[in-house]
Structure 1
């Protein structure tokens, strides 16, 4: 099966979970109801340009011909919430907590590239934070922030080891450290993506670069190590990666997360698996995609685990379903272990890839419901 054939097949499978989020659409005309967003290839129509502080829901319908994303940005391009992988004809919902009034921006990203089609969005007044008024949600955010802090600390250590190996031209050592260092990045990627352009500097894939954009970060060094051989500027690229990761770790350990960011982040990590890891497009030079797959699932599990007391209390059946579906994905992943790591993506059979896609699809549907459960008052 060719790469394009696999992508086409998996888009259909993963799209089933996306479609499930389109059900239960409510009236978008009421001032406090969901805000309709009509995303096209060349336009992003947001029905209202303002909302009261608190929990805000956007209902994004893709009326264009390309897969798109929708974002709500705060000042400095800090991501308040996002919904990815909205295929043509489908609708997905973004529920985001915005307790502070002020100026924000909405953005659709047709083709999931570039800065997006943006518009100003105003949040009026202020609202109590869920984590401040609900003890269980407060503990959930503190628990997850402790997890982020520990992963960030290890990301810093392992990236330093990887960078040092690259700079010393220890190719075999650097290759061994590449998927290890990325594990800690992939586990907390939704948090990492919150900080403007640090994410593309660290993790942009060559195929996703805008014309004229510089190729830096993990994947540039991946290409140097596995394809072209180390280049004259590889040490400088390694130093920049280290500087960017150091900056990101400092930010990640101080960011104040909301319970809905945990819920949305858990789903985003499954979207990452569906759009990059299952298809083998993430680590296209090293084929270490299963390491990233495992890390994304770990991060999603950590977010759901932090929220589990709330989910269990409000929807016990959903909590049970999540446990079952995570277990199914875990079993498939662990079957691909090789030593301390994983098999190469290229060693997977078509049947194994399809089994992964089906398991992620089955998990993505219940995870898409967590945000709605968390948003309940």
Structure 2
């Protein structure tokens, strides 16, 4: 009898534990999600108030690039709050079913031509792979590069003295106009921005430049370190020459009726393997009274993407067309071609959509690069987007 009671008691405890566990599992989905403040508090191992990629895991790590809206390699409380808000208010049309239903097969599309790429700039050749893009299995090209230009010299960016001419520096932009960053331009930034706090030069006329990798890392981010305020920010390609940028691009693009926005990842690739980036975050750059010039080719360098373009100036490899149409200069991340802005007669297209694209009978749907001073190569995507990854 004693043994029977012991068996019954043990069985009862097991049933109770199982019941409690099932109840806990049933309640788990309804458990309140931790706040952004709690996430940083729990994961911020070095207590610097932000999260690096090495400090996160799971869904946050998987979506790190999208959450990191300023592309500085860290997640701040503001960025986590914004990501949470976007998730809560994401409209139903962003589901995979929506994207599938939004594909318009009636729009003419042209497959990516990999022969246009400079093969020497591609790591291990261009591969084909089935990739799930927004839940849609898609045949893609996987292209790996070091994002280093070869058909033109990268730089210069910052002049060293206020007497230096435009040949010793790059370009900057404001209100859709391009300006040469000569020494004279640097000396007059207080007038240019109507702000007397601008002074990037010393009493002897030499210009304060981030001329070391340490200075680059401290200044080429939104929260510029105090000692690098009022500097001309210059990062050199050799600092990040071993970075590998991977582009995943649909072999044949799929036209989406509704324009798709892009985050801080690359928006496309030139034929030399250099990344096209979204608009430069000028508000963050200027807030610290710094300036980060592009070179004459429309590119500069940052720690989390190496050399990349924010403008198209005609310096890279182009494929001329047999008619008067402008040349093709690269591909957007959705697989649609990007062409130059002006045709052979110097005319701009007049019927571009909200993304900077249109269709014709020869090239199907395609984009045209924006004005160099506009800080936007293309404005959005009309195709099922691939993605980019950068590994240091």
TM-score normalised over the length of structure 1: 0.33
**TM-score, normalised with respect to structure 2:** 0.32
Q: Answer 1 or 2: which has greater helix percent.
A: 1
